A = this chain, B = another copy of it.
Amino acid sequence: MDGSAPIDPLISSLSRRAPLTSKSETDLRSLSIRVREFRPNHDLVASGSRPRESCVVVSGFAARAQYLPDGGRQLDAIHIPGDFVDLHSLHLQRMDHSVAALGPCVAGFIPHSELISLMRENPQLTWLFWQSTVMDAAIARAWIACLGRKLALESLAHLVCELCVRLRSAGQVTDAAFYFPATQHDVADMVGLSHVHVNRTLKELRTKALLEWEAQRVHVLDFDALAAIAGFDGAYLRPGRPMPRNAPQLA
């Protein structure tokens, strides 16, 4: 027993939303997880595949990536430890995007069949898994607003605010700073800009003494100012509704 299991980040992520019943925790720990390590930029999940297992980030970061016909790339989600990166693959015929490691990343793969039979007997986990996919979608909507209507400075500030809030609740922010291994090229593909313009805009945020960002370490110097610039309201990141008394069933 080394005191840390690959399922721990997921358990800890879910229990931030609702106190897990002891049955839920036992059920989760009974899942078989195949653990794999990934190098930066390598695919955890391939676009077009038909996954038979779902993937949880154990440590490090992952990002969903869409490749465009012209060779361009657009990222549409960032996943931190404890996040399912493709729980929605339970419901989709084919992956409409790939998932790539952002920096070095450890991921755990859980067979769909086990997730299904687990949910069959555990309404709380059915509820929380569904809720995970819903909260993912809320983040995607915030990105849509950034991409559609915000300036570069605003979008980048928004990204930093979102990461900061999510990582803080995951306990990965210390002294207002967190580790984030994305290159400026990666960041450009998140906010829909060129890497050159990302560079200049980050410089502007640095010049304004709002943040520092070097050596894969983001230091948030003035969160409130960043949030003001970004028009950031973190409400969409808060835990969802608890499961109602008579929760839905999946069997």
Q: Which residues of A contact B (CB under 8 A)?
A: 64, 66, 68-70, 72-74, 76, 88, 90-94, 96-97, 112-113, 116-117, 119-123, 126-127, 129-131, 133-138, 140-145, 147-150, 189, 191-192, 231, 235-236, 238-241, 243-244, 246-251
Contact = CB atoms under 8 A, between A and B. Distances in A.
Contact of A94 (B97, B134, B235): B235
A246 B131 contact: no
Contacts of A133: 130, 133-134, 137
A24 to B, nearest CB: 13
A110 B211 CA distance: 46
A120 B241 CA distance: 17
A156 to B, nearest CB: 13
A246 B240 CA distance: 26
A138 B92 contact: yes
A76 B249 contact: no
Contacts of A247: 116, 119-120, 250-251
A122 B248 CA distance: 8
A93 B249 contact: no
B241 A123 contact: no
A196 B11 CA distance: 50
Given A96-B236, A192-B147, A137 B249 contact: no
Contact of A149 (B92, B135, B192): B192
B137 A250 contact: no
A192 B135 contact: no
Nearest to A116: B244
Given A91-B131, A112-B244, A144-B144, 20 more contacts: A64-B141, A66-B145, A68-B231, A72-B149, A74-B144, A74-B149, A88-B138, A90-B134, A93-B239, A96-B138, A120-B246, A121-B249, A126-B249, A126-B250, A133-B137, A137-B137, A140-B140, A140-B144, A147-B192, A148-B192
A162 to B, nearest CB: 13
B149 A246 contact: no
B240 A251 contact: no
